[in-house]
A and B are shown apart, each in its own frame.
Chain A
Amino acid sequence: AQKVTQAQTEISVVEKEDVTLDCVYETRDTTYYLFWYKQPPSGELVFLIRRNSFDEQNEISGRYSWNFQKSTSSFNFTITASQVVDSAVYFCALSEAGGGADGLTFGKGTHLIIQP
């Protein structure tokens, strides 16, 4: 069975600080996909990134970066120079079945609060 653990329930930082959100996953499949979604107070889940199990390259997109390490089954997300607009709940998610139609297994989410 697959499982995603986000141990940090809530993180509060002051604007412009860097912050890292942790994600640890469990799966028996050799092919799987990892995702990060952002859920602002409006409720809509916004897709941020997809990473497949064969690609351990880290990725940077503006102030966002992701560190995927299969050795530790982790897929951590870092926001550099945080801004108030980054305040949201962030979910890490896992999909098995090699890209099929299966749904996502989400972690419990990390509520990120950026204080001005």
Chain B
Amino acid sequence: DAMVIQNPRYQVTQFGKPVTLSCSQTLNHNVMYWYQQKSSQAPKLLFHYYDKDFNNEADTPDNFQSRRPNTSFCFLDIRSPGLGDAAMYLCATSRVRRGGNEQFFGPGTRLTVL
């Protein structure tokens, strides 16, 4: 089945220690998104890649970076995680087309910062 895969599902890191979360997709969608979802809150868009073009949200901290080496993979790098970065990180994909583009989400990676 075509899907969005996130690894790992649970990640524990130490305060200030860089961490990378990964996302892969078999849907061949041209857009990949990263959302941050804190406990009992709505997902918040961090950035997205439209093909190779990176689009950062204005309020995304510089501590968060992303890479998309190819169509299938996208990475979220947190350079110096703080306690406030503990959250669920959701990857989503979509195919840009007329008629609106629903996004398909992966299962998420729950990040704990010690």
Residues of A within 8 A of B (CB): 33, 35, 37, 42-47, 50, 52, 91, 95, 99-109
Q: How many A-B residue pairs have CB under 8 A?
A: 65
29 contacts between A and B (CB under 8 A): A33-B100, A33-B101, A42-B107, A43-B88, A43-B110, A44-B108, A46-B105, A47-B102, A50-B102, A52-B99, A52-B100, A91-B43, A95-B101, A99-B97, A99-B101, A100-B96, A100-B101, A101-B31, A101-B50, A102-B48, A103-B33, A103-B35, A104-B43, A104-B45, A104-B103, A106-B42, A106-B43, A107-B42, A109-B41
How far is it, in angstroms, between the C-alpha of A46 and the C-alpha of B99 when the chains are bound?
19
Please state if B45 and A103 are interface contacts (CB–CB under 8 Å).
Answer: yes
Q: With A43-B110, A44-B107, A52-B100 as given contacts, are A101 and B42 in contact (CB-CB < 8 Å)?
A: no
* Chain A residues, Cβ within 8 Å of B97: 99
* Chain A residues, Cβ within 8 Å of B98: 99
* Chain A residues, Cβ within 8 Å of B94: 101
Interface size on B, residues (CB 8 A): 31
Please state if B105 and A45 are interface contacts (CB–CB under 8 Å).
Answer: yes
How far is it, in angstroms, between the C-alpha of A8 and the C-alpha of B48 when the chains are bound?
30
* Chain B residues, Cβ within 8 Å of A44: 105-108
